[in-house]
Chains A and B, each alone.
Chain A
Amino acid sequence: MRSDRAPLGLRIAAFAGLAFLHAPILLIFVYAFTTEDRTYQWPPPGLTLDWFAVTWNRPDVWSALGLSVRVAALSTALALVLGTLCAAAVSRARFFGRETVSLLVILPIALPGIITGIALRSAFSLGDIPFSTLTIVLGHATFCMVVVYNNAVARFRRLSGSMIEASADLGANGFQTLRHIVMPNIASALLAGGMLAFALSFDEVIVTTFTAGQQQTLPIWMLEELVRPRQRPVTNVVAMVVVIVTFLPILGAYYLTRGGSETAGGGK
């Protein structure tokens, strides 16, 4: 006998777990509307929408947001190119050291961010490369590439090898095969990988602190604001925006890669 409803204890535990995970995030949202701007007082003495206007008029928020978007877009683009090429090589060709390459590509995401950050910083100073948007982009591309690679490699495995041969057999050159056969079949995986990469880059702190110099991305700016309290709820407003900006692509990526098995195998 199986009952459709879980036992009461289990349901309480599940709700407790969810509350533990998500209540702090809700708190952040609530404080974005508080009337009190020095200490985070509970319960909020009053609610207001003023902080949205204040945030809108703060140039430092805009410049941090601009830098974050620029960095995320560039590192996603770089990761898409490199990650896809890497995935294509690993899944379509047999060569010496293939497994090792596969492992080395994934390694940056397993490596603590602080190690990646220190390594990049030493490399930049060794090479006399001044900090710029480009240095942050390079830092972010290391882990963005991994998510693109993982998505692409999974899709390449499902793309039946004989489909590419069939295209060539029917007279298509390499570019035509890429455009008409490979791209349509991996596009949604690339979009998903790209969205995840964008979200990862957008809220990254650790690697950024080592590769940004004096520049402030949005998460770095938030960190500084917490130390130096001035119009505190502005930080909360920005946090809300960050949550939404990172959550939507991740949700999108989830729906894009979920159950896409009809593109598999090529007619098996």
Chain B
Amino acid sequence: MPIAVEFQNVSRHFGSVRAVDDVSVAIEEGAFFAMLGPSGSGKTTCLRLTSGFERPSAGHVRIFGEDCEGVPPNRRPVNTVFQDYALFPHLSVRDNVAYGLMVRGLDKTERYARADEMLELVKLPGYGSRKPAALSGGQRQRVALARALVTKPRVLLLDEPLGALDLKLREAMQDELKLLQGSLGITFIFVTHDQGEALSMADRVAVFNQGRIVQVGTPQDIYERPRTRFVADFVGSANVLSPAQSRAAGGPEKWVSLRPEAIMLTPAPQARVSGTVTGIRYLGAMNRVSVALGEAMLVATVPSGAALPPVGAETGLTWDTRSVHEMDGE
């Protein structure tokens, strides 16, 4: 697969703030790539470096092998779905979608035909003559998507595309985006702070922290084999044990992570460690049990229906050593 977007030692500084700090990553054509991280971690700046709204302070951004230095946003083969959608309020939905074709000089008949086709694709047929103000949040999102896709960009950038939608709509859109990406075969790069979204939609995920990429990999890599404490913490709620705590539990003297679903409650004799149950939260299919071990706190998820000790009781905990994952203490 050719490389669609490549960052080579890219930095972007705002004054003394290193928004993006020496990032190198290659995104293959046709990938669904997620940039995941807390706010201010540099993921959005990376997106803007790709779209051309920011220029790197150092390093090179290449799109299909071509260095983008000095290429303005309107000449890049990438389009963006903005976080606030940025629909043009004075134009009808059809004119919004056809905008990219209009500025390229296509005549009205053809651009409207293609805009209507796109509206069909995003399941908004017949909405062409409305104004954006008359649409719901989810519908606006689809219009923004149609508008960005109508010019057939080779890369689509999505900035927190689902952030403004409510939970149910978000889940539906996740599935749709995934299907759309598969059928169009365009490279999707999307920015999110929602780890669930990143893991479920992307085929590759880059985890950002403080302007750097901490780990790039498949969702499985990121979730099961976090490279650092930060990744383990941020991606799902892994239990993190310090070297001392790990050794006390019979493990290596290193920072380790342990997924809640890998921990089992067990009577004291077979237990690796034992502690006091401090809380139980019912999550539908699971119960989430918090157990205090001196200073440390471990969280285990137990399938609903299994017997649970009451809050305040002593319980033993055990796990398979293969599910203990060593990592950097960063």
Contacts and interface: CB of A to CB of B under 8 A. Distances in A.
Given A166-B80, A170-B79, A267-B84, A185 B89 contact: yes
A182 to B, nearest CB: 11
Question: Interface size for chain A: under 10, 10 to 19, 20 to 34, or 35 or more residues?
Answer: 20 to 34
Nearest to A166: B86
Interface in B110-157: 132-133, 140, 147-148, 151
Given A184-B90, A185-B89, A266 B84 contact: yes
Contact of B51 (A163, A169, A180, A185): A169
Interface residues of B, number: 29
A241 to B, nearest CB: 36
A165 B53 contact: yes
A181 interface: yes
Given A165-B73, A262-B133, A266-B89, A171 B84 contact: no
B190 interface: no
A172 interface: yes
A180 B79 CA distance: 18
B185 to A, nearest CB: 21
A100 B261 CA distance: 59
A225 to B, nearest CB: 48
Nearest to A185: B90
B89 A168 contact: no
Nearest to A162: B86
Contacts of A167: 88, 99, 103
B103 A180 contact: yes
A267 B132 contact: yes
B281 interface: no
Contact of A173 (B51, B74, B78, B86): B74
Interface of B: 51, 53, 72-75, 78-80, 82-90, 99-100, 102-104, 132-133, 140, 147-148, 151
Interface of A: 160, 162-163, 165-173, 176, 180-181, 184-185, 262-268
